Amino acid sequence: MAALAGAVLLAALLPATGRAARGADLACDLAVGLLFFLYGARLSARETVAGLRHLRLHGLVLVCTFVVFPLFGVATAILTPVPLTEQVRAGVLFLCLVPSTVQSSVALTGAARGNVPAAICAGTYSSLAGLVLTPLLAAWLLGARAALSADGLVRICAQLLAPFVVGQLLRPWIGAFLSRHRRVLTPVDRGSILLVVYTAFSSAVEQGIWHTVTPTVLLGLAAVLLLLLATTLACAALGVRLLGLDRASGIAAVLCGSQKSLAGGLPMATVLFGPQAGLLVLPLMMYHQLQLVVGTLLAGRWARSATDGPTAPAVEEEAVGTARASPEPA
CATH of the domain at 292: 1.20.1530.20
Q: Identify whether 246 is part of a domain.
A: yes
Neighbour tally for 154: CB within 10 Å = 10
* CA 17/CA 202 separation, integer angstroms: 8
The backbone region for 274, taken as left when phi is positive above 0, alpha when psi lies in -120 to 50, beta otherwise, is: left
User: pTM for the complete prediction?
Assistant: 0.78
- Cα torsion angle, 112, 118, 122, 128, sign: positive
Least Cα distance to 103 among 92, 116, 91 occurs for: 116
Hey, what amino acid is at 88?
V
| Upper half-sphere CA count for residue 13 (Cβ side, 13 Å) | 6
3-state SS, residue 254: helix
Average of per-residue pLDDT across 117-142: 86
DSSP per-residue codes, 269-321: HHHHHGGGHHHHTHHHHHHHHHHHHHHHHHHHHHHHTGGG---HHHHHHHHHH
Task: List the Cα angle 284/58/314 in 5-degree steps.
Answer: 85
Q: Identify whether 330 is part of a domain.
A: no
Q: Identify whether 51 is part of a domain.
A: yes
Tens digit of each residue's pLDDT (9 = 90 or more) over 19-34 = 888 888 888 778 878 8
Q: What is the mean pLDDT of the chain?
A: 80
- Cα torsion angle, 309, 53, 66, 34, sign: positive
Judging by beta carbons within 10 Å of its beta carbon (0-12, 13-18, 19+), is residue 232 exposed, middle or buried?
Answer: buried
Q: What is the pLDDT of residue 200?
A: 76
Q: Which helix (H) or strand (E) holds 170?
A: helix 162-180
* CA 57/CA 320 separation, integer angstroms: 19
* CA 119/CA 108 separation, integer angstroms: 10
Average of per-residue pLDDT across 229-249: 94
Q: Identify whether 61 is part of a domain.
A: yes
* CA 262/CA 282 separation, integer angstroms: 11
Residue span of the structural domain in which 243 resides: 2-324
DSSP state of 43: -
Q: Identify whether 329 is part of a domain.
A: no
Task: List the Cα angle 208/277/153 in 5-degree steps.
Answer: 145
In the chain, the percentage of residues whose pLDDT exceeds 90 is 22
Q: Is the pLDDT confidence value at 312 over 60?
A: no
Tens digit of each residue's pLDDT (9 = 90 or more) over 253-293 = 999 999 998 878 888 888 787 777 777 888 998 898 899 88
* CA 212/CA 115 separation, integer angstroms: 43
Average of per-residue pLDDT across 219-244: 93
Least Cα distance to 164 among 42, 26, 28 occurs for: 42
Q: Is the pLDDT confidence value at 330 over 50?
A: no
* CA 34/CA 189 separation, integer angstroms: 9
Residues composing the chain: 330
Q: Is the pLDDT confidence value at 1 over 60?
A: yes
The domain tally of the chain equals: 1
Judging by beta carbons within 10 Å of its beta carbon (0-12, 13-18, 19+), is residue 58 exposed, middle or buried?
Answer: buried
Q: Identify whether 154 is part of a domain.
A: yes
Least Cα distance to 199 among 24, 29, 34 occurs for: 24
Per-residue confidence band for 327, with pLDDT thresholds at 50, 70 and 90 = very low
Tens digit of each residue's pLDDT (9 = 90 or more) over 38-63 = 877 877 766 666 666 788 999 999 99
Q: Identify whether 134 is part of a domain.
A: yes
Q: Are 98 and 291 in contact (CB under 8 A)?
A: no
Q: Is the pLDDT confidence value at 323 over 50?
A: no
The backbone region for 254, taken as left when phi is positive above 0, alpha when psi lies in -120 to 50, beta otherwise, is: alpha
Q: What is the pLDDT of residue 65?
A: 95
Q: Is the pLDDT confidence value at 177 over 80?
A: yes
Q: Is the pLDDT confidence value at 326 over 70?
A: no
Q: Identify whether 249 is part of a domain.
A: yes
